[in-house]
Each structure stands twice: as C-alpha cells, then as structure tokens.
Amino acid sequence: SQQGEEDPQALSIQEGENATMNCSYKTSINNLQWYRQNSGRGLVHLILIRSNEREKHSGRLRVTLDTSKKSSSLLITASRAADTASYFCATVNDYKLSFGAGTTVTVRA
C-alpha cells in the first residue's frame, strides 16, 4: 500500500503559470521528500523537508508541510516546458521511502 496520496492526479498548465500539487499521508514521518520523474525513467530528488520544518524553498520550488493535517504541498513557480514530468511525494519513516501515485504535470508552450 502507498503511504502518500498526491492530488491532483494530473495537471495541465500554460508556460509561465504556477503549478501546485498536494500530498497527504497517513502515519508519522521523519521527513518528506519530493521527486520528479521524466518519461518513466529514474527519479530526481527535488527537495526534503524535515518533520520540524513548515516551509522550504529551492529555486522555483516551494514546499510546505503541515504535520497536524498530515499534508504537504509543492509549488512550482513560473513553469517551463522542461517541468513537464511526474511528481511524487515520499514519506520517510525508519529506513524506507513510501511513495504516492504521483501527479503528472504537463506544461504547454
């Protein structure tokens, strides 16, 4: 079973717009990570937020974490065609990553 659930399942936006996706999870976590996957290939780590952090930024990415609601969000600002990919949240508990089913983002030129 998957720990995290991303919402929405798919997102289509115009280049330059912002993209927001959400992740909900079920159990307590050490930290939460977001990954990107292009065309069914390997995952690329984007950002890690620890359970005692509420917000984190990395370039055009902004991640929030609300442990009371067991949820996180990923915002990509000023999207580009190269941001077209699937995005996964992964919760970290003990030794393993537990992934959701992902959000597929399509950025239209």
Which among 98, 78, 87 is positioned nearest to 9, based on CA atoms?
87
CB nearer to other proteins: pick between 64 and 98: 98
Rounded least distance, CB 81 to other proteins, Å: 20
Classify 29 as helix, strand or coil: coil
Q: How many CA atoms within 13 Å lie on the side-chain side of 44?
A: 10
Applying CB under 8 A, which part among 25-33, 55-63, 64-72, 76-84 lies near other proteins? Answer: 25-33
Name the residue with tokens 């065609």: 81
Binding site for other proteins (CB under 8 A): 1-2, 4, 30-31, 33, 35, 40-45, 48, 50, 88, 90, 92-102
